[in-house]
Amino acid sequence: MQTSSTPSANKPPASDGHGATTPYGRDFLEAVPKTDLHLHLDGSLRLETLIELARGRGIKLPSETPEGLLELVFKESYRDLPDYLHGFAYTSPVLCDEEALERVAYELAVDNLAEGVRYIEVRFAPQLHVREGFEVAQVLTAVDKGLDRARREHEASPAVRERGEPPFRYGIITCAMRLFTAGFAPYYEQLLGALGQWPSKEVYGIASMSLARSVIEARDDLGLPVVAFDLAGAEAGNPPSDHVDAFTFAHRNFLKKTVHAGEAYGPESIFQAITLLNADRIGHGTRLFDAAGVKAEAPERYVRQLSEYIADRRITIEVCVTSNMQTMPHLRRVEDHPLGRMLRDRLSVTVCTDNRLVSRTTVTDELAKATDAFDIPPQELRNVVIHGFKRSFFAGGYREKRAYVRQVIDYYDQVAAEHGVAPQAPSRGQELGPASAESPSS
């Protein structure tokens, strides 16, 4: 990874400099097959591409150089969540047509492949990119074209055809918004204009239901790899209950669910995501153990029972360490992040980037920080990495997924042997860790 302040053409800017010196060696972490299950398309552009797309579409940026944007927008640290989200005011508007979406999706896949990531689930809110004559299905198709082009190129490479590396696979996750204003995008402006007398929360629910119907139709009629439905946006004050109908519709149509929860609100938000929206995975979940934020009686017991339920049901938490540290001032060190406790309590976790540009990070960076801060022995690291593949919302059939995971496990072990990282047999009590990597289905 480039260490200067200006990103290369193929990689995001340098990480935020929390000093991760992984005990495994960066070469090993880059070489092993990895996943990114929490990856926002509009937060992961190349800077040069953002500048070029903005210039071609008449969108004004605070600076037209990578150095200037890194100083003014995509910083090493942020004051708070609103400051962190400010960059999306520039990235999202440039993704307004097929060419831009296809290009950014393609480059994102290529950048992931360059650091050994072999499976990604790219998420975004299609309604942010809808324009007149450019509807949800066309938005999804453009993103799929870019990802599929990278897949086909990698699959034809000697690494796959001759050396047996796992091929690249991907899925698309579509995000409904907890709330929106007319300024978010033309689609929302038109919807709010047409339903101006309606309670805003009902309008949010209508938008979510419309999206759910559109993406399921795109999956079933067009064969697009839409693998899950998500709920994103301002968490506090915008409960999941506004979107129950949309998630129930997704559930009844066999579309998996992941929900941003426990990022800007406490454990009760995670509980609602699971019980009201049937969440299969939780995005972030950083405040899972925050008993002080619980309004229910016996907060400590509530948190304990919730975390035990999540562990027992293997509801996977998509952990984004760098992003959380940039938006939560109380996380001063990586060691303060609840990932350590999640691992100790044997929760199902996977390590993700959230936003490669906005957080200036990569999957390798995230693994380096985690292994530097927490005691993660080789067997547990193997389990966590492989678990990302197992708990993915794989677009193919179950038998195909099992075969793919088996190939990934075998390749991981090959890389580990080449780097002298031999997984140790789990000690007593560790057999029920994040996932046993011995079986493709565990």
Give the pLDDT confidence score for residue 438 in this predicted structure.
59
Give the amino acid at 219.
R
Distance CA(253)–CA(198), nearest Å, equals 28
Which domain covers residue 255, as residue numbers? 26-418
Residue 312 lies in a domain: yes
Give the pLDDT confidence score for residue 126 in this predicted structure.
98
Q: In CATH, what number is assigned to the domain containing residue 387?
A: 3.20.20.140
Distance CA(285)–CA(307), nearest Å, equals 10
Of the candidates 313, 252, 324, the residue with the CA atom closest to the CA atom of residue 290: 324
Sequence-distant (6+) residues with CB within 8 A of 367 are 22, 29, 34, 351, 381, 385
Give the pLDDT confidence score for residue 49 in this predicted structure.
98
The catalytic residue positions are 263
Residue 7 lies in a domain: no
Q: What percent of the chain has pLDDT over 70?
A: 90
Q: State the pairing for strand pair 226-232/281-284.
A: unpaired
Residue 423 lies in a domain: no
Residue 390 lies in a domain: yes
Our count of domains for the chain comes to 1
Distance CA(301)–CA(288), nearest Å, equals 12
Residue 102 lies in a domain: yes
Residue 389 lies in a domain: yes
Where the chain has pLDDT below 70, the residues are: 1-22, 423-442
Give the pLDDT confidence score for residue 93 in this predicted structure.
95
Residue 188 lies in a domain: yes
pLDDT tens per residue across span 341-391: 999 999 999 999 999 999 999 999 999 999 999 989 999 999 999 999 999
Q: Is the pTM of this model over 0.95?
A: no
How far from 340 is each of 139, 286, 369, 412, CA to CA, in Å? 38, 11, 12, 23
Q: How many CB atoms lie within 10 A of CB 441?
A: 10
Give the amino acid at 56.
G
Of the candidates 160, 158, 141, the residue with the CA atom closest to the CA atom of residue 149: 141
pLDDT tens per residue across span 190-205: 999 999 999 999 999 9
Q: State the pairing for strand pair 256-261/281-284.
A: parallel
Element of type H or E holding 171 = strand 169-177
Distance CA(294)–CA(272), nearest Å, equals 13
Tokens of 176: 């409904």
Give the pLDDT confidence score for residue 59 in this predicted structure.
96
Q: Which residues of 277-294 are buried (b: 16+ CB within 10 A; e: fewer)?
A: bbbbbbbbbbbbbbbeeb
Residue 158 lies in a domain: yes
